Structure 1
């Protein structure tokens, strides 16, 4: 008597898996898909931000009038450097409303720049929490699917009272597949989180240096006006 044909294709293993394992697989696939979406978006977004910010820095330090640059940037700055610059210039102009210096202008300028930096860092860190979560829990979710699949295999053996490979193999295969899928979701998410954390840290230091230099430039204007 010939052995029954065993189909170990991905779809076959999925459809014959227990509903709990199916839920685990679907969750891991969704987590992996969303992680890759964040990774691609971050790669493109950070590259664009770095280029735009570098170009704007050149304009600011080119010697052009800060007021002229601010008028060109307008009320809708397009990148972190422009937003920090607009924050500083807006506070600068508010300091001399009515033709006289508003008391406490230096402190407000410094505080507004710090808030702007924190806001930009938070903007760039958006999505990293999800990557960290996927990277840390996906292996355990996959392991849960593995344990459940092995449990079903032993139950099948007990019910059929048959240790034939055709009874045991499918459950073991689906169990190991859940573990593999958990690692498939976790590894890119972890690598992406570590990479983007480092890149955002570097960019954070860059905008802090820009803000410090720009604040110093405005402070010179305060001194020039005898403030």
Structure 2
């Protein structure tokens, strides 16, 4: 929350300074309020859309901060359990409570696919040792973990398109409101037949509020979008490292089972020869 508060104050401070300069005598709030109130219907509609986009972005930022905090905390807890070298079956059951952990999700996907592959080979009964090489079978485990990583990245990217859309379009929406307001002001100037500064300045200042609000909505959206994308890239690196480590562990287990299976076959073969004679 401290990061959000600091960013909120940082974003609002230029606006407060601009408002204070715009109305030094009558009061900042009254000056901006008058400009917005006296703006045309189209400019007011643009301002309303920009305010709605800004509020939506700040709501998305708060939600993402909470979700990232939970996901990272639960992933740290899961990794501590993983480092304790418990049995994978026990680790799988304990990881069920860590539903927000991206590492736990990768593990569950890989371990579930590992269980399917081993049960399938065990159900075949007499399996030749060559079938236990593991490369083709373990590739399905690797693909399952890659699919889980993709789903976790998509889950973490939820609501980020709103930030990207606001950052890209809000300045142009505000500029549209400004252009429309200036067009209306010049139209009124033509009707009145006067073009001095006292007539032109109020209408233009009211129109420029739309550009200011557009920038106010876009700047924090771009900042937080880049911030969350960098965190997602770091999380992707963590998931890839964990998936590689888990794949190595499963491959060693597969080799161990292959060796055991080969020894059992070697011990059974002399007995078969003696009985046939």
**TM-score relative to the length of structure 1:** 0.89
CA change 1:213–1:106 in 2 (3 A) is same
Q: How many residues align?
A: 222
Higher share of residues assigned helix: 2
> Which has more radius of gyration?
2
Deviations 1:145-166 (A, max 9, x none): 1111111111111112234555
Q: In 2, Cα distance between the equivalents of 1:212 and 1:93?
A: 18
Matches for 1:4-15 after TM superposition, within 5 Å: 9-15=31-37
Deviation at 1:76, TM superposition (A): 7.5
1:143 is aligned to: 175
Q: In 2, Cα distance between the equivalents of 1:74 and 1:199?
A: 24
1:176 is aligned to: 208
Which of residues 69, 82, 89 is equivalent to 2:111?
A: 89
Deviation at 1:63, TM superposition (A): 1.3
CA change 1:132–1:78 in 2 (3 A) is closer
Instruction: Please say if residues 142 and 179 of structure 1, whose CA atoms lie closer than 8 Å, have aligned partners that are also in contact.
Output: yes
Matches for 1:131-210 after TM superposition, within 5 Å: 131-163=163-195, 167-210=199-242
Matches for 1:1-227 after TM superposition, within 5 Å: 9-74=31-96, 77-97=99-119, 100=122, 104-163=136-195, 167-226=199-258
Question: How large is the Cα RMSD of the aligned pairs?
Answer: 2.3
Instruction: Please say if residues 71 and 100 of structure 2, whose CA atoms lie closer than 8 Å, have aligned partners that are also in contact.
Output: no
SS of alignment partner, residue 78 of structure 1 = coil
Deviations 1:132-178 (A, max 9, x none): 11111111111111111111111111112234555433311211100
Q: In 1, Cα distance between the equivalents of 2:70 and 2:95?
A: 17
Q: In 2, Cα distance between the equivalents of 1:101 and 1:53?
A: 35
Structure number with the bigger relative contact order (C-alpha 8 A, sep ≥ 6) is: 1
Deviation at 1:9, TM superposition (A): 3.1
Structure 1 unpaired stretches of 5+: none
CA change 1:8–1:147 in 2 (3 A) is farther
Instruction: Please say if residues 77 and 86 of structure 1, whose CA atoms lie closer than 8 Å, have aligned partners that are also in contact.
Output: no
Structure 2 unpaired stretches of 5+: 1-25, 125-130, 260-277
SS of alignment partner, residue 69 of structure 1 = helix
Q: In 2, Cα distance between the equivalents of 1:225 and 1:77?
A: 31
CA change 1:111–1:99 in 2 (3 A) is closer
Deviations 1:174-211 (A, max 9, x none): 11100100100010001011111111101111111111
